Structure 1
Amino acid sequence: MRQVTDQYTKTAHTRPPAKLNLFLELLARRPDGFHEIDTVMIPIDWCDELQLQRIPDNRIELQVEWLPSLQIVAQRLGVEPESPTGRNLLAIPSDESNLVHRALTAFRNAFEIKDGFCCQLGKQIPAGAGLGGASSDAASALLCAARLCDIAADNPQLNELAAQIGSDVPFFLGMGGTEPIDGARATGRGEQIKAIELGKKLDCVVVFPAVCLSTAAVYANSQVPSNPRDAADLLNRLQDPKTTDLGSAMLNRLTDPAKKLAPQIAEILESLWHDELRTCQLTGSGSACFAISTSWGEAKRAASKLRARLEPGGFVMATQSTQVPAKIDVS
Structure 2
Amino acid sequence: MPLATTVPTNVQTAVETSPPAKLNLFLEITARRCDGFHEIDTVMVPIDLRDHLLIQRLDSSDELSMEAQWMPSSEIWTQKLSGSPQSSHLAQIPSDENNLVIRALAAFRKHFGVRCGFHSRLFKGIPAGAGMGGASSDAASALRCASLLCEPELGPAAERVEELAAIAATIGSDVPFFLGLPGQSESTVAARARGRGELLNPVSLRSPLPVVVAYPRHGLSTAEVYGRLTVPSETIDPEPFLKALSSGNRKLIGEKMTNRLTAPAREIRPEIDEMLESMWRSGLQTCQLTGSGSACFAITDTIGQARRAAARLRAMLQPGALVWATHTTTTAPRVRHAS
TM tier, smaller: over 0.9
User: How many percent of aligned residue pairs carry the same amino acid?
Assistant: 51
**2:163 aligned with 1:157, yes or no?**
yes
CA RMSD of aligned residues (A): 1.7
Q: In the alignment, which of 66, 70, 88 is matched to residue 66 of structure 1? A: 70
How far the C-alpha of 1:182 sits from its partner, in A, is: 0.7
Q: How far off its partner does 1:244 sit? A: 4.1
C-alpha deviations, 1:153-195, integer Å up to 9, x for none? 4522101110000000000011135644311000001111111
List aligned pairs for 1:176-187, cutoff 5 A: 176=182, 179-180=185-186, 181-187=188-194
Determine if the alignment matches structure 1 residue 36 to structure 2 residue 43: no
Classify the secondary structure of the residue corresponding to 1:245: helix
Change (3 A) 1:304 1:273: same
- Cα distance in 2 for residues equivalent to 1:69 and 1:311: 21
Structure 1 unmatched ranges of 5 or more: 1-6
Measured in 1, the distance between the counterparts of 2:297 and 2:158 equals 31
Contact 2:64 2:119 in 1 (8 A): yes
For 2:294 and 2:132, the matched residues in 1 are separated by: 9
Per-residue displacement from partner, 1:223-245 (whole Å, max 9, x unpaired)?
11121011111111212245543
- CA–CA distance in structure 2, aligned partners of residues 225 and 37 of structure 1: 12
User: Hey, what does 2:6 align to over in structure 1?
Assistant: none
Match of 1:222, SS state, is coil
Alignment of 1:236 with 2:243, yes or no, is yes
- Number of aligned pairs? 322
| Displacement after TM superposition at 1:85 (Å) | 4.1
- Give the distance between the partners of 2:219 and 2:320, measured in 1 at CA: 13
Contact 1:154 1:177 in 2 (8 A): no
- CA shift for structure 1 position 276: 2.0
Judge conservation of contact 1:143–1:153 (CA < 8 Å) in 2. Answer: no
What is the CA–CA distance in structure 2 between the aligned matches of 1:263 and 1:153, rounded to whole Å? 46
Following superposition, the deviation at residue 76 of structure 1 comes to 3.0
TM-fit CA distance, 1:78? 4.1
Report the alpha carbon displacement of residue 9 of structure 1 after superposing the two structures with TM. 4.0
Aligned to 2:304: 297
Aligned-partner Cα distance in 2 for 1:136–1:92: 15
Greater shift, 221-230 or 178-187, is seen at 178-187
- Specify the code of the residue in structure 2 equivalent to 1:74: T
* Partners of 2:21 and 2:137 within 8 A in 1: yes
The farther-off stretch of 68-77 and 318-327 is 68-77
Alpha-carbon distance between aligned partners in 2 of 1:54 and 1:261, rounded to the nearest angstrom: 42
Structure 1 residue 324: Cα displacement: 1.3
* Corresponding position of 2:323: 316
Superposition pairs of residues 164-179 of structure 1, within 5 angstroms: 164-176=170-182, 179=185
Structure 2 CA distance, aligned partners of 1:154 and 1:43? 24
Deviation at 1:77, TM superposition (A): 3.3
1:266 matched residue in structure 2: 273
Q: Distance in 1 between matches of 2:149 and 2:34?
A: 39
- Residue-by-residue CA offset, 1:83-142 (whole Å, 9 max, x unaligned): x54642211100011100000011011111101001100001011110000000000000
Contact 2:87 2:218 in 1 (8 A): no
**Distance in 2 between residues matched to 1:87 and 1:154, nearest whole Å:** 43
